[in-house]
A and B are shown apart, each in its own frame.
Chain A
């Protein structure tokens, strides 16, 4: 009796779980069915490394977007990771319980703000600030990096804080017993010990930055040229899809799906490397 009910629920849950997986499968299949013919037609090399994107002239090179994605993501890491690491060390080691109880949920709240709000805020405050103080049109890699750097904070902070907190107590006690100060302990014992978790958190944060679309469309300027400075506008892979899907048809639309395939590979690579790093531990 119990066995059958047990079996039934087990199968039910399996079906429900598989249905979410099947969505992933459907999207992947769809991406490939739509995108691969165009990549085949243009040629993988010319698609990835072509520097001209002009669908109206049948030129599909996404290299400027790849450069844009890498530049903005690197910028976001430079902006976000130091702040996030300092914050996680503070939360795990220095913060009094009361402060921690306020700061931690506040950071979680940061993750709950819709990306369009980040973009709007960036457009109204960050972009004009850059335009009037640093020059250029304001819509730039710098603006995108700042916004994405803030957006990846919650991911990086919470995962690296957890990996700091989950270290065995003996590490810290041993270090103290050897006469190290608190900061020396953090720098020479705790941070190196939590390294894999921290690196994984950064990679997941990068994944978030690479996949972000809405906020980036609003502050990045979306120009399809290879940027020459951080004050130049640029376009990422996601924004290429986001900004052009409205009117795209035929080959142009296929090219956007093909952009999605490239994006899928990048995200897969990032996620699996994050998993690999944490598992090694």
Chain B
């Protein structure tokens, strides 16, 4: 017991020193951080949809190589947050992976590309197409057996993306029509995982970006229209969403250069290589 007393005292007295150290390091690191932040603000800030983010990052990387000395800072946050950031000026450009609603229409915006959504099944599944209503019934668990939609007698294994994912919210707004995806659906956290599961499971159905469909899965026709880039461009395939750049007013300076670069033939080609569908407004210089 006696042996312990001095040590106890040391423990009691140490937190104070520790607290001082902690406070010091906090002050140091926060000043460092704020230093960084002020430096970045010299460049152009893009914020918004995490679906657009990876593509914007590819573009920004190339842009910064082509125009040395420029800084493009890409941040996530989601479409709504990005549009809001563009509106109040926190970001020069907001990125959105959904169309603007009525109150947002007053903002300046340009479509940089389109992303198709494919409904996929295992290649062993004899079905070649479904209607939008059938897909909705399947994902709301109204229909649970493939035979109810003209397939084999087997239970449907639903695969969806996680809450918060842009792909999921696009699917919800394009297909589900305010009906929730059933909680019984299997949830995977990436396009790749969805594709892997569907390619392994003959009874599975999933959805992912059209650009990521490969030979291991089969993209279904929707309402009789094949899921191809061409059908997305001519508007007959309904499951597509625009990728937008949004700004409070028409961008100027470096922000404008970046938008122009995105819409240029080179920029559009990069987006196409990454799996997006070039926009009809783009392609021109």
B164/A233 in contact, CB under 8 A: no
Which A36-82 residues sit within 8 Å CB-CB of chain B? 52-57, 64
Q: B182: which A residues are within 8 A, CB to CB?
A: 225
Once the chains are docked, how many angstroms separate the CA of A194 from the CA of B88?
67
B183/A64 in contact, CB under 8 A: yes
B164/A222 in contact, CB under 8 A: no
Q: Which residue of B lies closest to A252 (CB)?
A: B164
B187/A235 in contact, CB under 8 A: yes
Main secondary structure of the interface of B (DSSP, over half): mixed
User: Of B18, B50, B155, B183, which contacts A18 at CB under 8 A?
Assistant: B18
A22 at interface (Cβ–Cβ under 8 A)? yes
A55/B10 in contact, CB under 8 A: no
Q: A217: which B residues are within 8 A, CB to CB?
A: 189
B157/A137 in contact, CB under 8 A: yes
Contacts known (A137-B203, A139-B197, A243-B189); A55 close to B163, Cβ less than 8 A: yes
A246/B77 in contact, CB under 8 A: no
Q: A248: which B residues are within 8 A, CB to CB?
A: 163-164
A222/B184 in contact, CB under 8 A: no
A54/B186 in contact, CB under 8 A: no
A52/B183 in contact, CB under 8 A: yes
Which A1-59 residues sit within 8 Å CB-CB of chain B? 10-11, 14-15, 18-19, 22, 52-57
User: Of B163, B185, B200, B204, which contacts A56 at CB under 8 A?
Assistant: B163
A172 at interface (Cβ–Cβ under 8 A)? no
B62 at interface (Cβ–Cβ under 8 A)? no
B14/A56 in contact, CB under 8 A: no
B201 at interface (Cβ–Cβ under 8 A)? yes
A249/B186 in contact, CB under 8 A: no
Q: A224: which B residues are within 8 A, CB to CB?
A: 183, 187
Interface size on A, residues (CB 8 A): 38
Q: B197: which A residues are within 8 A, CB to CB?
A: 139
B77/A221 in contact, CB under 8 A: no
Which A192-247 residues sit within 8 Å CB-CB of chain B? 217, 221-225, 232-233, 235, 242-244, 246-247
Q: B98 to nearest A CB, angstroms?
A: 13
Q: B155: which A residues are within 8 A, CB to CB?
A: 136
A131 at interface (Cβ–Cβ under 8 A)? yes
Q: A229 to nearest B CB, angstroms?
A: 12
Which B154-180 residues sit within 8 Å CB-CB of chain A? 155, 157, 162-166, 169, 172, 180
Q: B77: which A residues are within 8 A, CB to CB?
A: 249
Contacts known (A138-B201, A247-B162); A56 close to B186, Cβ less than 8 A: no
Once the chains are docked, how many angstroms separate the CA of A18 from the CA of B22?
12
Once the chains are docked, how many angstroms separate the CA of A243 from the CA of B165?
10
Q: B78: which A residues are within 8 A, CB to CB?
A: 247, 249
Q: B192 to nearest A CB, angstroms?
A: 12
Q: B11: which A residues are within 8 A, CB to CB?
A: 14
Q: B53 to nearest A CB, angstroms?
A: 11
B188 at interface (Cβ–Cβ under 8 A)? yes
Q: A15 to nearest B CB, angstroms?
A: 7
B187/A18 in contact, CB under 8 A: no
The 6 closest A-B pairs by CB, nearest first: A247-B164, A222-B187, A225-B183, A137-B157, A221-B186, A225-B184
